[in-house]
Amino acid sequence: MTFRIRRLGDSRWRMVALAAVATAWLAGTTAHAADEPDLIFRRSTVFKWVSPNDKLATYGVDDPEIEGVACHFTVPEKGGFKGWLGLAEQVSDISLSCRQIAPIRFKDKMEQGADMFSQRRSLFFKKMQIVRGCDAKRNVLVYMVYSDKLIDGSPKNSTSSVPIMPWGASDSNVQKCGDFFK
């Protein structure tokens, strides 16, 4: 029995490389499934006859480092066949609202402008990020959402602030965010 080694053509190499990249991307997205935000609801904005509609989707996410703070953001989701397959580049229009939902407790020291949450917005080059900071003078947590591209960033952003307040009659120990940010 003899074996022949055949050389793959350029188009086959491209297909093999694309399949490898897609597999790595899918493995990366399933590895972070626990970090996914909660889908609150979706609303169709552009009707498509055969493929999925364009939508606005609202998600909720708790700050992993600060107990008692939740953020909600709304993102456009492209429909069509590219959107359905995950190949469409999503637009950078993202709105953000963060609120105190319980007594605020800091888990550890943090950096100003550190990532609180991030999510891919295209197959390779764009991601959305929510970062947090502290306005120590006013004792307010500040959250900013923006999207970035590897080659050309986006100036589109949204900001939300959360004043640290007592929560109920039994919460008399209000922490100062300036004590927890470097």
Residue 94 has a pLDDT of: 84
53/46 Cα distance (integer angstroms): 6
Residue ranges per structural domain of the chain? 36-179
The pLDDT of 5-17, averaged and rounded, is: 50
Q: Which of 131, 139, 129, 130 is nearest to 180 (CA)?
A: 139
Residue 80 clears pLDDT 70, i.e. is over it: no
The pLDDT of 52-64, averaged and rounded, is: 86
Q: pLDDT tens-digit profile of 99-152?
A: 999 999 999 999 999 999 887 765 556 678 899 999 999 999 999 998 876 556
Residue 29 has a pLDDT of: 37
With 0-12 CB in 10 A as exposed, 13-18 as middle and 19+ as buried, what is 63? buried
35/179 Cα distance (integer angstroms): 27
166/152 Cα distance (integer angstroms): 42
* Residues above pLDDT 90, as percent of the chain: 35
Range in 9-13, 56-60, 62-66, 94-98 the model is least confident about: 9-13
* Residues above pLDDT 70, as percent of the chain: 62
Residue 24 has a pLDDT of: 42
Range in 68-77, 89-98, 136-145 the model is least confident about: 89-98
Q: What is the pTM of this model?
A: 0.70
Q: pLDDT tens-digit profile of 154-171?
A: 677 889 999 999 888 777
Residue 14 clears pLDDT 80, i.e. is over it: no
Q: How is residue 145 written in tokens?
A: 């959402």
Structure letter (DSSP) for residue 37:
P
Q: Which of 76, 78, 29 is nearest to 57 (CA)?
A: 76
Residue 161 has a pLDDT of: 96
